[in-house]
């Protein structure tokens, strides 16, 4: 019998359904290949499930808050059980768009300009500040959500309405809007796995474009880029992966505009669904879904 794998999926974030899908598809593939698998929610039964099931490794299929922001990683560290993907600090940094952007900037990794809006500050001077520092249109998003949840492209006419809509967040990021092409790069360990281009029918690669099977987003692989450009964007992704201190597989989201790449964000726990990009990039490189999962599991058992 192969390893016992406890799969963490579900959770309480806005990405719960995506996480459940990832968990089910990973579990199905592992069971088909002889693994002893159990799926668990990250709830009060987690400690009991770990104690009774005694997994060799936890496959963290959670997405969003409490799943990929260092929170559940801290809990798993307490149980001294190996778990997939990045550790506590790297997960926390990557999930916080403000902190991760500051690391990109410090390491000369090009990223869109931004300002942070806190809800304890008056909205009166916000438009003037945007016009001075960023110019419209801008992208407005929470600093700690994934999968483009609650991300909006805003103009002067609707910015305050969107800011008000997002008032349950303590603060939001207002970012320079970059047009151009959507390029995603996967890193596997410390190696450049590959890249894929997305052409969404929608205005940008938002939540619906990512997870709605009817979104008609076009996936282009291999990416039609000059070799020097492909080398550049792959190098930027690997550099960001290393500077944040990531482990396992990550996916970095870029915009390519006027011969320049802009890193939007880095995802420490990319999805493993039928529409997910990392498995698609891996398949193009000759790595089957089960081989990808097994690599992630084996990587998790190495010393952090």
> Which active-site residues does the annotation give?
15, 147, 211, 251, 253, 265, 267, 271
Tell me phi and psi for residue 226, to 5 degrees.
-60, 150
Closest CA to 273 of 293, 301, 255: 293
- DSSP assignments along 104-132, one per residue: HHHTT-----EEEEETTS-STTHHHHHHH
107, 263 contact by CB (below 8 A): no
What's the distance, Cα to Cα, between the start and end of the chain in Å? 26
Which regions of the chain does DSSP assign to beta strands (E)? 4-8, 36-40, 57-60, 114-118, 138-142, 152-154, 171-176, 181-188, 191-199, 218-220, 249-257, 260-267
Strand, helix or coil for residue 188: strand
For the beta sheet containing 114-118, the strands, ordered from the edge strand earlier in sequence to the opposite edge, are: 114-118, 171-176, 138-142, 152-154
Helix and strand tally (H, E) in the chain?
Answer: 11, 12
Number of C-beta neighbours around residue 46 at 10 A: 18
- DSSP assignments along 23-65, one per residue: HHHHHHHHHHTT-EEEEE-SSTTHHHHHHHH--SEEEE---ST
Q: Are strands 57-60 and 152-154 parallel, antiparallel or unpaired?
A: unpaired
Longest dimension (CA), the chain: 64
């Amino acid at each position: 019998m192969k390893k016992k794998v406890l799969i963490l999926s579900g959770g309480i974030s806005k990405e719960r359904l995506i996480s459940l899908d990832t968990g089910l598809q990973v579990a199905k593939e592992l069971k088909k290949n002889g693994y002893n698998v159990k799926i668990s929610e990250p709830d009060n039964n987690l400690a009991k499930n770990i104690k009774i099931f005694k997994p060799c490794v936890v496959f963290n299929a959670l997405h969003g808050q409490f799943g990929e922001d260092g929170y559940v990683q801290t809990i798993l560290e307490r149980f001294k059980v190996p778990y997939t993907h990045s550790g506590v600090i790297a997960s926390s940094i990557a999930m916080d768009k403000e902190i991760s952007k500051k690391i990109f900037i410090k390491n000369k990794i090009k990223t869109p300009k931004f300002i942070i809006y806190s809800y304890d500050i008056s909205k009166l001077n916000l438009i003037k500040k945007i016009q001075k520092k960023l110019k419209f249109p801008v992208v407005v998003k929470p600093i700690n959500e994934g999968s483009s949840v609650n991300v909006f492209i805003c103009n002067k006419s609707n910015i305050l309405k969107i800011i008000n809509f997002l008032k349950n967040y303590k603060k939001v990021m207002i970012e320079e809007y970059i047009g151009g092409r959507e390029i995603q790069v996967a890193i596997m360990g410390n190696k450049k796995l590959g890249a894929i281009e997305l052409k969404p029918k929608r205005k940008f690669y938002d939540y619906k474009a990512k997870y709605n099977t009817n979104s008609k987003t076009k996936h282009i692989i291999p990416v039609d880029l000059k070799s020097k450009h492909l080398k550049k964007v792959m190098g930027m992704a690997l550099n960001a992966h290393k500077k944040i201190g990531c482990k396992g597989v990550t996916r970095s989201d870029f915009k390519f505009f006027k011969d320049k790449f802009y890193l939007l964000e880095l995802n420490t726990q990319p999805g493993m669904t039928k529409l997910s990009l990392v498995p698609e990039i891996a398949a193009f490189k000759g790595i089957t879904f089960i081989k990808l999962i097994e690599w992630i599991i084996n990587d998790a058992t190495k010393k952090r």
